[in-house]
Chain A
Amino acid sequence: MASTAPLCAHVRPGFNPSLGPAGMTGVPALTLFEKIWDAHLVRRLDDGRDLIFVDRHVLQETTSAVAFENLKRAGRGVRRPELTLATQDHIVSTAPGRDEATNPGGRELLALMRANAYRHRIRHFGVDDPRQGIVHVIAPELGLAQPGCVLACGDSHTSTVGGLGALGIGVGTSEVEHVLATQTLALSRPKPIRVRFQGRIPPGLVAKDLILRAIGALGVAGGRGSAVEYAGSAVEALPVEGRLTLCNMSIELGARLGFVAPDEKTFDYLRGREFAPRGPAFDAAMAAWRSLHSDPGAAFVRDVAIECDRLAPQVTWGTTPEDVAGVDDRIPDPASYGDAGRREAAAKALRYMELAPGVPLEGLPIDIAFIGSCTNGRLSDLQAAAAVVRGRKVAPRVRALVVPGSMAVKREAEALGLHEIFRDAGFEWRDAGCSMCVSINEDVAPPGSRCIATSNRNFENRQGPGSRTHLASPATVAAAALAGRIVDIRKEARA
């Protein structure tokens, strides 16, 4: 890429065949992935795939309706409804005080989710339930996801729960049906790879900047067929919610799975949550969770290091998440790419984004600022944004919205007075849902508008037909909302 940023990612080619210290005693050194996967292996299938037991199955309304319909047609039931949890998040209205009818376009799928959950006696946290929220926000916050568990969901961002040391598997609707009917998945075994974030995260930067940098370095297909373990000093330093953000965007690396080894922070996070173990069971769990790490010398198919010390806040400029640069960089010249396909794709992206090569990212005017999504809709994300916003005003003509990732996040934020900070500044303060990340409800960016967003995809038309998206961290999005243009939050802090 044409970026002037120091090249801070290098690939250590390397398959490490040694068994390491554990190997000396005759026990093979295992990766965290292998430990969890193998504990869930029901059987290796004749076709080479593995049949994996699913401990938790989370449903959302847009990818489950057809699964239930097909199940009914085949005369099949739900094998373990107690291990299943449903919510409504994708197509719900986020208008404060909404119900299932507020967004008329969503009525059919919302009603189907409710009816299917009722018929099969599946827990359903719909828009009328205080526990409603985005699947990947509520699974951790309810303690449904735990270290060492396998959680499946018909949504590509299911790897989010990897932030707790769980294997979150995103699947399609046929596989949702397969899990409903059998509580298992037949999957090709992913290859373990490791991404180590080394050094210290500069002040003001967060997990979002780290994962965007990794996607820029490895590309959107870099993790295909892989189970990515995120490790290194910067990951150890991240709070649990930051690790959830990091793992959330594993699919933007093309990876099947993404996770972080659990530690004391993980255990503290889970203690007391609704579906977490309690009392002596929690202590027993903790003892077992402590063994959930990759053994020294465990073999990774690929081991990548990313240096964080000099990382700049990351902002995307194109139409895939790998089109990313430091906020102090300029838009790259497509001609600078060696690969013809990449050159063509970058040129097309710039045409769509209405951007010219060489223009600084900093200073680009924006029309909309969106804070929310399963990537950055948690309390710490709203706190980071509120810290920037406090006492200031959204720029004229900018639409700025905060959509908490769950109703629990919304309540916690309100208890801290964050809603006042946002509202006083001119932000909309909405109810929980996927909102302008997938724009399948009424939260749509108009054609030609430029939106800076804390979400995860900057595809063409993602936030609405003709909309243009720049992905960034909550603080960077909040600062852009105030300035009406993309700004470098490091300068703001110094000013």
Chain B
Amino acid sequence: MRRPVSTVVGTLAAMPAPNINTDQIIPSAWLRTATADLGNGLFGSQRYDEAGSERPDFILNQPGWRNARILLAGENFGCGSSREAAVWALVQFGVGCVLAPSFADIFYENAFRNGLVAGVIDADAFEDLRRAAAAGPASYAVDLASGTITGPDGTRWAVSVPASRARALMRGDDEIAITLAMQPEIDAHFDRSRAATPWLFPESLMERPSR
């Protein structure tokens, strides 16, 4: 059971460039152990200089945006490496929702598995929010039930999360538990597959290594 997520409320920060890749989101320096402080490493190459000091011009280092909860990004956010640490880094930093015109496929799947809302917005909403975020830090609210983001003055924009995905987030579904309930069906599929295409499962493979 994951923690259910229905709303994400907090400061909106804009990183509107397209094609922000997962190497940028979490550089490989933070992937060398299983226990790194990924929140600290979020956007590490842009956030810190060679000496490890914060670069003051980077958005998440600026007063008002240091505790951003919602990230506005450009097209194809999360492209490149499959590293799920990119999602973990966002979540551990405190980001609960990324809004973008589109997401890379693997990142999108990884996000939902960790309760990170990946919401698709249209071009007009992207422009409006980009401009609003540039004006200064302010609090916004993303609501999954209504599929909206609401600005400080009450303005609303549509946030697209497939209904079934939104429900799963709000319930805090454990996807593995759901699939395990289908185990008999999965086993039946395997038996049929083994009978129909036995070459896929040769003895050299099916014999497990001894200890």
Residue contacts A-B, CB under 8 angstroms, 6 given: A155-B82, A275-B205, A278-B204, A284-B198, A440-B28, A465-B45
Partner of A281, one of B29, B198, B209: B198
Partner of A178, one of B28, B176, B189, B211: B176
Partner of B106, one of A172, A178, A281, A282: A172
Chain A, interface size: which category? 35 or more
Query: Measured between C-beta atoms, what is the minimum distance from B11 to chain A in Å?
Result: 24
Residues of A within 8 Å of B179, CB to CB, are 51, 178, 181-182, 184, 186
Partner of A171, one of B106, B114, B198: B106
Q: Which of B71-79, B138-146, B150-158 lies at the interface with chain A?
A: B71-79
Q: How many angstroms between the C-alpha atoms of A49 and B127 in the bound complex?
A: 31
Query: What does the 1/0 interface line of B3-25 toward A look like (CB < 8 Å)?
Result: 00000000000000111010110
Cβ contact within 8 Å between A62 and B31? yes
Partner of B32, one of A91, A170, A188, A284: A91
Cβ contact within 8 Å between A121 and B209? yes
Cβ contact within 8 Å between A121 and B211? yes
The 6 closest A-B pairs by CB, nearest first: A47-B164, A285-B199, A174-B113, A277-B199, A172-B84, A172-B110
Is A462 part of the contact surface with B, judged by Cβ < 8 Å? Answer: yes
Cβ contact within 8 Å between B82 and A172? yes
Cβ contact within 8 Å between B45 and A461? yes
Query: What does the 1/0 interface line of A346-380 toward B look like (CB < 8 Å)?
Result: 00100000000000000000000000000000000
CB within 8 Å of B: which A77-101 residues? 80-83, 91
Is B197 part of the contact surface with A, judged by Cβ < 8 Å? Answer: yes
Is B175 part of the contact surface with A, judged by Cβ < 8 Å? Answer: yes
Q: How many angstroms between the C-alpha atoms of A460 and B21 in the bound complex?
A: 10
Residues of B within 8 Å of A76, CB to CB, are 176, 180
Cβ contact within 8 Å between B19 and A277? no
Q: A53-B190, A63-B83 are in contact. Are A83 and B209 (CB under 8 A)?
A: no
Is A450 part of the contact surface with B, judged by Cβ < 8 Å? Answer: no
Query: What does the 1/0 interface line of A423-444 toward B look like (CB < 8 Å)?
Result: 0000000000000001110000
Cβ contact within 8 Å between B19 and A345? yes
Residues of A within 8 Å of B81, CB to CB, are 156, 438, 457
Query: Measured between C-beta atoms, what is the minimum distance from B199 to chain A in Å?
Result: 4
Partner of A66, one of B28, B34, B50, B164: B34
Q: How many angstroms between the C-alpha atoms of A285 and B45 in the bound complex?
A: 49
Partner of A183, one of B18, B186, B200: B186
Is A254 part of the contact surface with B, judged by Cβ < 8 Å? Answer: yes
How many chain B residues touch A (CB < 8 A): the figure is 63
Given contacts A51-B179, A465-B45, 18 further A-B pairs with CB under 8 A are A39-B193, A62-B83, A69-B34, A74-B176, A123-B209, A146-B200, A170-B82, A174-B109, A175-B109, A186-B175, A220-B19, A221-B18, A221-B19, A221-B79, A224-B102, A282-B199, A284-B199, A288-B197
Residues of A within 8 Å of B28, CB to CB, are 438-440
Residues of A within 8 Å of B34, CB to CB, are 65-66, 69, 108-109, 112
Cβ contact within 8 Å between A459 and B82? no
Query: Measured between C-beta atoms, what is the minimum distance from A154 to chain B in Å?
Result: 6
Q: How many angstroms between the C-alpha atoms of A55 and B189 in the bound complex?
A: 11
Cβ contact within 8 Å between B19 and A82? no
Is A118 part of the contact surface with B, judged by Cβ < 8 Å? Answer: yes
Cβ contact within 8 Å between A175 and B50? no
CB within 8 Å of B: which A146-170 residues? 146, 148-149, 154-156, 170
Q: Count of A-B contacts with CB under 8 A?
A: 201
Partner of A345, one of B17, B182, B189, B208: B17
Query: What does the 1/0 interface line of A24-57 toward B look like (CB < 8 Å)?
Result: 0000000000000001101100111001010100
Which residues does A use to contact B, with CB under 8 Å?
39-40, 42-43, 46-48, 51, 53, 55, 62-63, 65-66, 69, 74, 76, 80-83, 91, 105-106, 108-109, 112, 118, 121-124, 144, 146, 148-149, 154-156, 170-175, 177-178, 181-184, 186-188, 220-221, 224-225, 251, 254, 256, 274-278, 281-282, 284-285, 288, 320, 341-342, 344-345, 348, 438-440, 447, 457, 459-462, 465-466
Q: How many angstroms between the C-alpha atoms of A320 and B20 in the bound complex?
A: 10
Q: A172-B109, A183-B190, A254-B104 are in contact. Are A220 and B79 (CB under 8 A)?
A: yes
Is B80 part of the contact surface with A, judged by Cβ < 8 Å? Answer: yes
Query: Measured between C-beta atoms, what is the minimum distance from B12 to chain A in Å?
Result: 20
Query: Measured between C-beta atoms, what is the minimum distance from B92 to chain A in Å?
Result: 13
Cβ contact within 8 Å between A81 and B105? no
Is B162 part of the contact surface with A, judged by Cβ < 8 Å? Answer: yes
Cβ contact within 8 Å between B24 and A345? no
Residues of A within 8 Å of B104, CB to CB, are 221, 224, 254
Q: How many angstroms between the C-alpha atoms of A122 and B208 in the bound complex?
A: 7
Cβ contact within 8 Å between B175 and A178? yes
Cβ contact within 8 Å between A465 and B50? yes
Task: Output the residue of B175, B176, B186 with the most chain A CB within 10 A.
Answer: B176
Q: A146-B200, A275-B202, A275-B204 are in contact. Are A171 and B164 (CB under 8 A)?
A: no
Is B53 part of the contact surface with A, judged by Cβ < 8 Å? Answer: no
> Which partner residue on chain B sits nearest A273 by CB separation?
B204
Query: What does the 1/0 interface line of B37-68 toward A look like (CB < 8 Å)?
Result: 00000000100001000000000000000000
Residues of B within 8 Å of A466, CB to CB, are 50
> Which partner residue on chain B sits nearest A149 by CB separation?
B200
> Which partner residue on chain B sits nearest A68 by CB separation?
B34
Cβ contact within 8 Å between A457 and B23? yes
Residues of A within 8 Å of B168, CB to CB, are 47
Cβ contact within 8 Å between A440 and B31? yes
Query: What does the 1/0 interface line of B76-108 toward A look like (CB < 8 Å)?
Result: 100111111101000000000000001011110
> Which partner residue on chain B sits nearest A182 by CB separation?
B179
Cβ contact within 8 Å between A146 and B31? no
Is B207 part of the contact surface with A, judged by Cβ < 8 Å? Answer: yes
Cβ contact within 8 Å between B84 and A457? no
Partner of B84, one of A63, A108, A348, A462: A63
Residues of A within 8 Å of B27, CB to CB, are 461, 465
